[in-house]
Amino acid sequence: MSGTAEMNAWIARVLGIEVLTAAAKTSSDAAAIDAGALNRLGLAAARLPPRPDRPGRSARTDALIGRVASLPPAPEPKDLLAQFGGLAPEFVLAVLEEPASTATALREGAELPRQDWMLEFGDRYSSLLRDLRDWRRLLADAQAARDAATTAADLGPGQGDLIEDYATARDSCLEARALVMTAVHSLATEFGQARQAST
Amino acid sequence: MSGNGKETPPAGSVSGLQAALSRTLIFRSRKERYHFLFAPHSAGGLIIRTLARSVAAPLASTLKILEERGEKVFSGAMLVDEESRCLFCVSEAPEGFLSELASWAQRNVSEIPALIALADAGVAVSSAHLDSNEAVLALAPTELSIVREPDLWKDLLRADVAGTAAVLGVAWPGERLWYWLSDGADPPLLLQPVAIDPNHERMEHLIRQARGSVRSRGNTGTCLIIDAGNIQFRGPDLELAGLHSLAAWVRQHVAAHPALARLSGCEFLATSAGRVASVVADANAWSGIERPSVPGTLEESARVFAGLAGDAGCWFWLTGAGPDGPFLDLADLQGDPAGESFAPRSARNYRRFAGSFEDAISGILRLDANGQPVFVTHEPHVDHWPALMHQLAARAHDTQPAFAAFGRAVLIQYAGEQVARTLRATDGS
C-alpha cells in the first residue's frame, strides 16, 4: 500500500466515491464541501453503523420473566391457557424488540438461553391451541354423526354405516381430547419449573 | 439508528404506514375496535387504527384526499372475531372488497409479512354510522351477515418445498426460526423466521395446508444456524427417525432446491425443563449432500478472503468476543457498495456477540499490491487490533488456512478523510 493517495484512488475507482483531501478543502472547491458531505468523505467504511455503547437491551425479556415468576400456579387447565394468553403481548414485544441472536452450539446438559425457553413455551402454546381447534372440530363432527345415527335409528334398520361413522368420529374426538389434556398437563408442569427457575 | 441497529421509519412514510399496520395486525384483539381505510391502488394501501387512536379525524382527511383524487377507496370499521379473523364492516354493499383486499395482500405480503392476519377475513354491511366511535363499539358480530371467501386467500402463503428452501436460503446465524416437522406431510418441514412471525400466525397458516387431511401433530420448536454453520433443531420430541426422514426428503429435492443443503449435518436437540436432554446427529445420513458455507460464519469469511484478488475488496466486521476467540465477518463489497446489506448485518452481529459493543471494528478489507491484507476503518479505538490479527492467524493452523495472511496485515485508521494512524499485525506479536 503506497499510502493515502493510492487508497483514495482505489475508493474512488471501486466504490465510486470521490475522496477529497485536505488540500482540496483549501482549494476553490472548498465551498462545495458542506458539513453533511464530510460524512461521505474519506472512507466508505464510515457508512457502517458506529459501535453501540452498550450491549443489546433485554429489559422487556427481563420484565416478562419477572412477571412469570410472580404468577400464581394455575389451578385448572383453562387458567393456564388464560395466563399464557395474558402474557402473549409482552412475549411478542420482547421477541420483536430484543430478539435472541446468539448462535452458540448447545450440547447435552446445556441450559437454553432465557428467550429460547420463552420461545419454546410460545411454540407449545400454539400447538396446544391447534390441538384445541382440532378437538372442537372433531367434537362438532361427532355430534353431527350422533344426530345422523339417532335419526337413522328412528327410521329403522339398515343404517350400519352411520353408526360406524359415529363410532369413528367419537374415537377421534376422545383421542384429540386426550392429546389436549396430556399437552396441558405437560405444559403446566414445565411452566411451573420455569416459574421456579425465574425466582 | 439505535444501539442495536433497528431503525424506526418516519410515521407518515409508506414504510411508516407499513410498520404501523404490521403492529396493529400482530397485536389485534377481540377486545379492541378499529377504523379502517383501504385504497387498493394507493401507496398506503390499508390503514387500520384502534378507535382510541384514530378519533376518526386523521382517517377522514386521508379518505377525503383519496376520494378527491378519484381513487377507489373503502372505509369503515374492523372487528376481530373469536378465531382472531378480521371482520370488516362497511356501510354500502362492498363491491369487490374481499377480492381487492386479497390481491392487495398477495402483492404486499412479502414486504409486510403480518398481512397473513387478513387470511379468511370477512366483510359485512352495517347500517350503523361507522364514523362514530359509539356506533362501532356497539357493533355485535353475531348480528351481522358476514361474507367470507376462503379460496381468495389460498395463495397468500404457500406451504411447499420452495417456500421452505427460500427461508433456509436467507437465514443467518443466530436467527430464530419456528419449525414444524411431520413425516407424512407435504412438505414435511416448514420454517418461518420468528422475527416476522412472532405470534406463530404464518406458521399456523402453513401447517393447516401441509397437514391437509392428515391429522399429524408433527414436532415443533425453534431452530437456528449456529456459529459453525450447521443447524440445530430444539424441541421436546425430536428423535433420530425424524432426522433420517428429513435427510431422505432433502436428498430427494436438493437438486431442484439447493438451499435445502443447508440442512446437511443438522442436529436434533431434545429439550426438557429448559435444558438440552440429548443431542441426536448422524453424519452418515447426509453423505453426498454438501452443506454450503453460510454468510456470517468464519468458514464463509475464509472463502470470501481466499477469493479476493486485484481491486476487489470486502466489508469486514471484527470482534474478539466470538465463541472461540476472535470472529471476523467478511462480505461482498462490489455488489453492496453502499453497505445497505452489510450495515444491518453488522447490527445483527452486535446482538449475536454480546461483548462486541466493547471491541468491534468494522470497515473495508482489501489486498495491497503484494497481496497482503489491508484493513481500513473509521473506528476510533483500534489498539487491540494487532492482537486479534494474531489470534485469527493462529486459526490457520487448525481450520482456516487462508487466515495465515492476517499475521502480516496492516490497518489504516481514518479520522474524517484523513489517515489518523497505521497499525501492523506484527505490532502485537
d(CA B46, CA B51): 16
Task: Summarize pLDDT for B185-243 with one digit per residue, the tens.
Answer: 889 999 999 999 999 999 999 999 998 766 678 899 999 999 999 999 999 889 999 99
Same domain, A78 and A173: yes
CB contact under 8 A, A126 and B220: yes
Same domain, A97 and A189: yes
Residue window 35-64, chain A: list those with CB within 8 Å of chain B.
38, 41-49, 51-57
**Is A80 inside any structural domain?**
yes
Higher pLDDT, A35 or A16: A16
Task: Summarize pLDDT for A139-160 with one digit per residue, the tens.
Answer: 888 888 778 777 766 666 666 6
Higher pLDDT, A73 or A115: A115
Cis peptide, bond prior to residue B187, ω within 30 of zero: yes
- Facing residues of B279 across strands? B269
pLDDT above 60 for A34? no
Same domain, A105 and A192: yes
Task: Summarize pLDDT for B63-122 with one digit per residue, the tens.
Answer: 777 777 777 889 999 999 988 999 999 998 778 999 999 999 999 999 999 999 999 999
Give the residue numbers spanning the domain of A15.
Answer: 4-47
Higher pLDDT, A122 or A171: A122
Instruction: State the average pLDDT over residues B370-390.
Output: 91
What per-residue confidence (pLDDT) applies to B371? 85
- Facing residues of B224 across strands? B232
Domain borders along chain B are: 14-153, 161-286, 298-428
Same domain, A141 and A176: yes
Same domain, A38 and A103: no
d(CA B280, CA B239): 7
For residue A100, how many C-alpha atoms fall within 13 Å in the half-sphere facing its CB?
26
Instruction: Find the residue in B nearest to A46 (Cα).
Output: B378
- Taking a C-beta distance cutoff of 8 angstroms, is the pair A115, A135 a contact? no
**Is A174 inside any structural domain?**
yes
d(CA A13, CA A56): 37
What per-residue confidence (pLDDT) applies to A90? 94
CB contact under 8 A, B364 and A45: yes
pLDDT above 50 for A120? yes
End-to-end alpha carbon distance in chain B: 37
d(CA B248, CA B181): 13
Residue window 7-36, chain B: list those with CB within 8 Å of chain A.
26-27
Instruction: Find the residue in B nearest to A92 (Cα).
Output: B198
What per-residue confidence (pLDDT) applies to A46? 64
What per-residue confidence (pLDDT) applies to A76? 81
Instruction: Find the residue in B nearest to A19 (Cα).
Output: B417
Long-range contact list for B265-268, CB < 8 A, 24+ apart? B265/B230, B265/B231, B265/B291, B266/B223, B266/B230, B266/B231, B266/B232, B266/B233, B267/B230, B267/B231, B267/B232, B267/B233, B268/B233, B268/B238, B268/B239, B268/B240, B268/B242, B268/B243
d(CA B333, CA B339): 7
Nearest to B271 by CA among B222, B235, B223: B235
Higher pLDDT, B142 or B385: B385
What per-residue confidence (pLDDT) applies to B232? 98
Nearest to B127 by CA among B90, B73, B94: B90
- Taking a C-beta distance cutoff of 8 angstroms, is the pair B362, B379 a contact? yes
Model pTM score: 0.87
Task: Summarize pLDDT for B268-308 with one digit per residue, the tens.
Answer: 999 998 999 999 999 999 999 999 999 999 999 999 999 99
Confidence of residue B367 (pLDDT cuts 50, 70, 90): confident
Confidence of residue A82 (pLDDT cuts 50, 70, 90): confident
Residue B23 Cα, gap to closest chain A Cα (Å): 10
Same domain, A37 and A71: no
Nearest to B351 by CA among B301, B296, B413: B296
d(CA B146, CA B93): 12
What per-residue confidence (pLDDT) applies to A30? 34
Q: Is B224 on the interface with A (CB under 8 A)?
A: yes
Same domain, A30 and A97: no
Same domain, A8 and A80: no
Instruction: State the average pLDDT over residues A69-95.
Output: 87
In chain A, the number of structural domains is 2
Same domain, A69 and A106: yes
What per-residue confidence (pLDDT) applies to A16? 52
**Is A53 inside any structural domain?**
no
**Which residues does A10 contact at the CB level (< 8 Å), separation at least 6?**
B311, B313, B366
CB contact under 8 A, A120 and B354: no
Beta strand B147-148 with B122-125: parallel, antiparallel or unpaired? antiparallel
Higher pLDDT, B184 or B6: B184
d(CA B343, CA A48): 5
Residue A12 Cα, gap to closest chain B Cα (Å): 11
User: Grid coordinates standing for B152?
Assistant: 381468495
| Helix extents (H) in chain A | 4-15, 22-26, 35-38, 59-70, 77-97, 114-155, 160-198
Confidence of residue B352 (pLDDT cuts 50, 70, 90): very high
Residue A116 Cα, gap to closest chain B Cα (Å): 8
3-state SS class at A89: helix
What is the value of ipTM here, to two decimals? 0.86
Confidence of residue B388 (pLDDT cuts 50, 70, 90): very high
Task: Summarize pLDDT for B142-154 with one digit per residue, the tens.
Answer: 889 999 999 999 8
Instruction: State the average pLDDT over residues A56-63.
Output: 89
Q: Which of A31-35, B90-94, B158-162 has the lowest mean pLDDT?
A: A31-35
Mean pLDDT across chain B: 89
d(CA B35, CA B47): 8
What per-residue confidence (pLDDT) applies to A26? 39
Same domain, A104 and A152: yes
Same domain, A181 and A108: yes
A42, A109, A197 ranked by CB distance to B414: nearest:
A42
What per-residue confidence (pLDDT) applies to A19? 46
| Region class of B216: left (phi > 0), else alpha (psi between -120 and 50), else beta | beta
A10, A20, A103 ranked by CB distance to B366: nearest:
A10
d(CA B183, CA B165): 17
Same domain, A42 and A63: no
Residues of B in contact with A5 (CB under 8 A): none
Residues of A in contact with B410 (CB under 8 A): 1
d(CA A38, CA A32): 11
CB contact under 8 A, B315 and A19: no
Instruction: Find the residue in B nearest to A97 (Cα).
Output: B6
